[in-house]
Chains A and B, each alone.
Chain A
């Protein structure tokens, strides 16, 4: 089974990289782009067949390492 983890900055946390991307897109002729938030995408190959168990384990991974809970949120999608 695969787990796809998205790590994103919490609301209210300043994202200067997202801002810079937004400015560049505006300059490149995409004026419709407003706020941009940058995050991380992490794909994990898991030796686990039980979805509930996999979800619980990946949540633990997120809290322990993959996300910094001071500034980031995570979401998990299980595939396969």
Chain B
């Protein structure tokens, strides 16, 4: 699997996700600067976390209009898989590759913690190494992770199985918003586009791939992509 990791001014998790990809593929991904409108053909494009353009105007708003994202939009339309993590999730929603948007956390605080996620489906190139309903533990670190979409969009996401991950309690329960760190609608932590070739999520699976750093539950996401895309 050949991967590209985008780098914007203010990105800060690009190294972490490159490390995770190298761990499962044995190959360093290509790092692509935001001003590069063209880059090598790859099997996967990753939009990493951080604070692109200082989060000016709205998180991800500036990055979504950068030359590299115009190319990403083109390739995504051709079916090239795109993974947006944290700020990357905000960027791909601002770019219109995913429905909805990420708003300020309902409690207005930055949240940095391990959270439990329920995997909603194993039927995707991103989640095929998980079981539907499986509970995993990965960290979040954000101030704007509160997923919001209008009622029609929410219904469509539910009906079409486009919800990838939900925040939950350790037992997988989402009753009364259990385990929800940011006020996200329906406890949504990650969503797919309608072809399930684009995934955006707020949590950081790339920071849960080594036992030394508190867990390995995120590793299966990268292994699953390798399996699907190699």
Contact = CB atoms under 8 A, between A and B. Distances in A.
B146 to A, nearest CB: 8
Contact of B104 (A16, A40, A68, A70): A16
A20 interface: yes
B108 A68 contact: no
A40 B56 CA distance: 12
A14 B106 contact: yes
Contacts of B150: 70
Contacts, number: 36
Contacts of B106: 14, 16
Contacts of A71: 101, 103, 148
Nearest to A66: B57
Nearest to A10: B150
A65 B65 contact: yes
B108 A17 contact: yes
A27 interface: no
Interface residues of B, number: 20
B180 to A, nearest CB: 14
A13 interface: yes
A64 interface: yes
Given A68-B94, A70-B148, A70-B149, A17 B61 contact: no
B100 interface: yes
A20 B58 CA distance: 19
Interface of B: 57-58, 61-62, 65, 93-94, 99-101, 103-108, 148-150, 183
28 contacts: A13-B103, A13-B148, A14-B103, A14-B106, A16-B105, A16-B108, A16-B183, A17-B104, A17-B108, A20-B108, A40-B57, A64-B65, A65-B61, A65-B62, A65-B65, A66-B57, A68-B58, A68-B61, A68-B94, A68-B101, A70-B93, A70-B99, A70-B100, A70-B101, A70-B148, A70-B149, A71-B101, A71-B103
Interface of A: 13-14, 16-17, 20, 40, 64-66, 68, 70-71
